[in-house]
Amino acid sequence: MDENIYWREQICQTFKARSLPASPLVRSGKNLFTFSPIQDELTKFAEQPQGFFYKEQLCFRNVYPANLVNPLASPCQELVSLFSFEPVSFAPVIAQFIRTILDPWLSASDIFVIVPDIPSIATNSRAISTNVIEIPRERLICALPIPGQHYYLKVCVKFNNGLVTVANFVLVDYQGGNLAQLDSVFFPLRSTMISEHAKSLFETAHYRSLYLKVFHSVESHELTHFLVGQLEAIRVLHQAVGNAGNKKQHYTLKKLAREIFSECAYHQISVTAILQNFPTLAEFLSPLYEDFLANLEKSIRQVKQSRQPITADYAYQTLGIPYQLFKARIDPTLVLPKLPSNFAYHRNPSENIYVDPIARYR
């Protein structure tokens, strides 16, 4: 059975939820793409229709360069949301969600709920799980463009001694007590990763054959994760945008491609070899790659022939030379910005620090 069908049936039956139509991935106006299931549902929090609502939404966010090092980061993901636009007792709802989605295949001892250190929220959350972790409320504020104070409650699973967030609930316009309107995002691919004991999103069964082919070319799990996720995003967006998108949407596609080309050039990886595993993208990306290489060489010559010193910042902002290629081709002493590393889950279990998550957060 398709996993989304499974989630849909389980959630809709349990909560008697009505389905909301998916928003278009490609948008007009300020937001070029849908990045969250809630985007077209915000007015409902003022209207407060009764009951629960379910939504599946394909979303895009540019997560580079985090997806170079974070095995859970991916530009395009199918997300699932459960909404209550009227105030409900939030703890029983979240507890029921966990029983329905996670308990059938996970030990309760591996499920943790991270909550803001607000006494009323923390107290009510004890009904959700015995594994409640309180952290400063400032770290769990959710910036929704509607009135009120909104707080995340994060449902996490201990996996390979790391913590994987599988669902984010948001208490919308929380005013104390046990009632709140609810927004949520569930990450099906992360759940699949855990259930299949895969080490990263694209080592799951659906992507594994492709993952192994790319890994054979690059011999790096971090770069394989980056390339598969980035190219899958281009495939989805290119199919959705087609020739009808505006210039900014096409620019987003080209930016994703340029990030791939930059990393491949820096790590001396053949883009042509990688694209053999993505035949539907080769026609679109190959000319962009040729232009990238030509412009890169021209810009590097300009820097090297300049009578005045050219900084890495100027080369990037004016000539389009990525910092890592400025270091590799022009100035080996350039110190590159450190990539983020404070993730709760790493692909390599030896890097994970949550043997005892509750003690770790104390």
Flag the least confident range among 135-144, 174-183, 243-252, 324-333: 243-252
Q: With 0-12 CB in 10 A as exposed, 13-18 as middle and 19+ as buried, what is 26? A: middle
% residues pLDDT > 90 (the chain): 91
For the chain, counts of helices (H) and of strands (E):
13, 8
DSSP string over 149-184:
--EEEEEEEEETTEEEEEEEEEEET--STTEEEEEE
Question: Which amino acid is it at 257?
Answer: A
Report the pLDDT averaged over residues 187-198. 96
Using CA atoms, how far residue 302 sits from 185, 202, 272, 321, in Å, is 48, 40, 26, 11
pLDDT at 2 over 70: no
Q: List, for residues 30-74, the tens digit of each pLDDT value.
A: 889 999 999 999 999 999 999 999 999 999 999 999 999 999 999
- For residue 110, the model assigns a pLDDT of 96
Report the pLDDT averaged over residues 226-250. 89
The residues, ordered by sequence, that sit 6+ positions from 252 with a Cβ below 8 Å of its Cβ are 32, 33, 62, 237
Beta-carbon count within 10 A of 251 CB: 13
Q: Are 310 and 297 in contact (CB under 8 A)?
A: no
Report the pLDDT averaged over residues 109-114. 96
Q: Are 83 and 53 in contact (CB under 8 A)?
A: yes
Q: Are 75 and 63 in contact (CB under 8 A)?
A: yes
Report the pLDDT averaged over residues 297-325. 96
Flag the least confident range among 2-16, 134-148, 286-300: 2-16
- For residue 108, the model assigns a pLDDT of 93
Q: Is 284 helix (H, G, I), strand (E, B) or coil?
A: helix
pLDDT at 243 over 70: no
Q: List, for residues 153-180, the tens digit of each pLDDT value.
A: 999 999 999 999 999 999 999 999 999 9
- For residue 1, the model assigns a pLDDT of 41
Q: pLDDT band for 244, please (50, 70, 90 cuts).
A: low
Q: Tell me, what DSSP letter sits at residue 203?
A: G
The residues, ordered by sequence, that sit 6+ positions from 247 with a Cβ below 8 Å of its Cβ are none
